Structure 1
């Protein structure tokens, strides 16, 4: 199992943020299936202000490239991504077209 952490900002508008959270109370089955079919076994999203933080647990052979290819070939995922983009905004350091950005782990405490 692998763990990835990612970040993304939302448009800083309380109404849009509330709507975005409501959308995630129950996502469409096709979207959930596309996530698990890509090898993601667990996904959590947290928010503070307009910043989102995602934790993904994946199978060992998970690949972001494979997930991107699967998403590009899935009309429902493309429709979802286009729709939620109105709520989202790229992080200041993002390249054009970049949404969720991988975060670098800088600390880990293990009690053994």
Structure 2
């Protein structure tokens, strides 16, 4: 099993952050989205928030690759609809390339 950590910022608006969190409560994410996550080889995903900074931990199996997931997402209209909806709440970090959201973090320490 491999683990990846990613980060993105939310629009710094309390009402939008509350709405974003509501979309991510158990049972509120669209079933097609959670299925697409599993189909991509992600066995566990956790998202944490501090103010408007989001942090995601993904545990993946050997079938996972970011390229494969991107291709699967691009071919899935429901994922594209979800991603468009999430852009209402998310904003790119200042150093992100145009269109980038979740950015891969570098692991700098392990005990």
TM-score normalised by length of structure 2: 0.96
Alpha-carbon shift at residue 103 of structure 1 (Å): 0.2
Q: Which runs of 5+ in 1 are unaligned?
A: none
Alpha-carbon shift at residue 60 of structure 1 (Å): 1.9
1:92 to 2:99 alignment: no
Instruction: Pick one of 41, 50, 65 that aligns with 1:48.
Output: 50
User: Conserved in 1, the CA contact under 8 Å of 2:40 and 2:63?
Assistant: no
Structure 2 partner of 1:27: 29
Bigger radius of gyration: 1
Structural mapping, 1:1-112, within 5 Å: 1-25=1-25, 26-109=28-111
Count of aligned residue pairs for this structure pair: 109
Partner SS state of residue 47, structure 2: strand
Any runs of at least 4 consecutive aligned residues in structure 1 with deviations exceeding 4 A, and if so which?
none
Structural RMSD (CA)? 0.6
- Report Cα offsets for 1:2-24 as digits up to 9, x if no partner: 00000000000000000000000
TM-score normalised by length of structure 1: 0.96
Q: Which runs of 5+ in 2 are unaligned?
A: none
- Report Cα offsets for 1:73-103 as digits up to 9, x if no partner: 0000000000110100011110011110000
